[in-house]
Structure 1
């Protein structure tokens, strides 16, 4: 019998290393694959698009907010991997009736590294996990060298339209913005409630007047008309479409994120 503690502080006990995994989180599906656990993955969400072939070879159990409980139960999983932000309390409570539900809680790069470390211990992939952690550590130190010569810029990071919503403080996205020396005008703004608040774009000038307006590729498909509309409500902000996966996906995705961020800065 082995005991492991997830990022919510829940203790899980296993007689054997879990060998049938259902993942409810796209970034964690990618991380599990990168740790050499493709064969152990039996169920994934319709949003688990990396690597792309998993959607054809694994059972799709729904999305991140709505899952097919019967389908998951039929897969007879040993463990279900969830995330505090991506999945609901109701889903986790339901699925605990089937098997242990491991819940991650990722707000920082260290939290992201801990996910990899935990998966390495949990699934007996410690060597693979350590290799990825080393890659991330090397990439992070290299990026620190790159970014230190860059000037800070005020930004607003939009994730939705109709209504317009942004990433605010206490989010992983906000940590990625800080890493890039992007000062989020909605970071810990007491006028807003929640980590992804609705905002009145007509007030952007008086609420920070960003130099950059970043439009995430997910979860909303922003188009040129959104960029034009948002740009009108700043003084001289540049509106930039960004790949949301590199700002919001944790785990092994970080290795690719550092290179993406460099390219982004070199185009600004």
Structure 2
């Protein structure tokens, strides 16, 4: 089966489940894992600006898209000519069924099962010592955070954090002043590439708060990625526990 993935984390999952560039014939420019294996896979645009003509030239049997990451009109245009599977992953349970479905479609049921078990193992072992209010920032100018209907929120909650903006939905804009009651400010490495200088800017407002840059992939890449983040989460929580 020839497949095109329009979702970076799903592209990674396909290779983790045992597919090769012989089956995965198209990807977005943001599909960067696994680095060595995706090199020879055709790029069909970005997640938000798909090159439909390029996709048509590749004639895939299946296109994998995502409700949040891809543009509805572009996906619907592809549906006229191709079989398109539109995914929507908000909770850990949704993630389980995504990986299971991919395993069934590509006859890699055992590998899918193993990744799902490992994902739950990683999340069960990554537990914070006490309830801590966290603000997870994904953008700057304006600052944007995550609401309760996002995958990131559910990963934070699973680990034991309390999302300071759990009463919001999607990706609300906030002001610096809105962070006053949060314990820890997490600056995600993506989609906005937060750096040390951005930490310093916030420290000018909140010198006593824990402000840290976190690996955005570990919190937002659904599929098989979290199964490989055990060491990262353990180190992250060790740093946070030592701060309390």
Cα offset, 1:233, TM superposition: 3.4
1:1-268 maps to which residues of 2 (within 5 A)? 19-38=1-20, 39-141=22-124, 143=125, 147=127, 150-189=129-168, 194-205=169-180, 209-234=181-206, 236-268=208-240
Tell me if the contact between 1:247 and 1:257 (Cα under 8 Å) persists in the aligned partners. Answer: no
- Contact 2:17/2:111, CA 8 A, preserved across alignment: yes
- TM-score normalised according to structure 1 size: 0.84
Give distance in 2, aligned partners of 1:167 and 1:137.
22
State the shift of 1:110 in Å.
1.2
Moved more, 237-246 or 93-102: 93-102
> Which 4+ residue blocks in structure 1 deviate beyond 4 angstroms?
none
SS of aligned partner of 1:156: strand
Aligned pairs, how many?
239
In 1, Cα distance between the equivalents of 2:45 and 2:89? 22
| Distance apart, 1:235 and its partner CA | 6.6
Q: How far apart, in 1, do the equivalents of 2:45 and 2:102 lie? A: 23
Contact 2:3 2:63 (C-alpha < 8 Å) held by counterparts: yes
CA 1:186–1:233: 2 relative to 1, 3 Å: farther
How far apart in 2 are the matches of 1:187 and 1:234? Answer: 21
Matched-pair contact (CA < 8 Å) for 1:106–1:250: yes
The separation in 1 between residues aligned to 2:110 and 2:178, in whole angstroms, is 50
What TM-score, normalized to structure 2?
Answer: 0.92
**Which has the larger share of helix?**
2
State the match for 1:3 in structure 2: none
Residues in 2 aligned to 1:81 and 1:131: alpha-carbon distance in whole angstroms: 22
Distance in 1 of aligned mates of 2:61 and 2:173:
39
SS for the counterpart of 2:103 is helix
What is the distance in 1 between the residues matched to 2:161 and 2:203?
17
CA RMSD for the aligned pairs?
Answer: 1.6
SS at match of 1:57: coil
Q: Is the 8 A contact 1:21 1:81 kept in 2?
A: yes
CA contact (8 A) 1:210 1:234 kept: no
- Structure 2, unmatched stretches of 5+, are none
How far apart, in 2, do the equivalents of 1:137 and 1:161 lie?
32
Deviates more, 1:132-141 or 1:108-117: 132-141
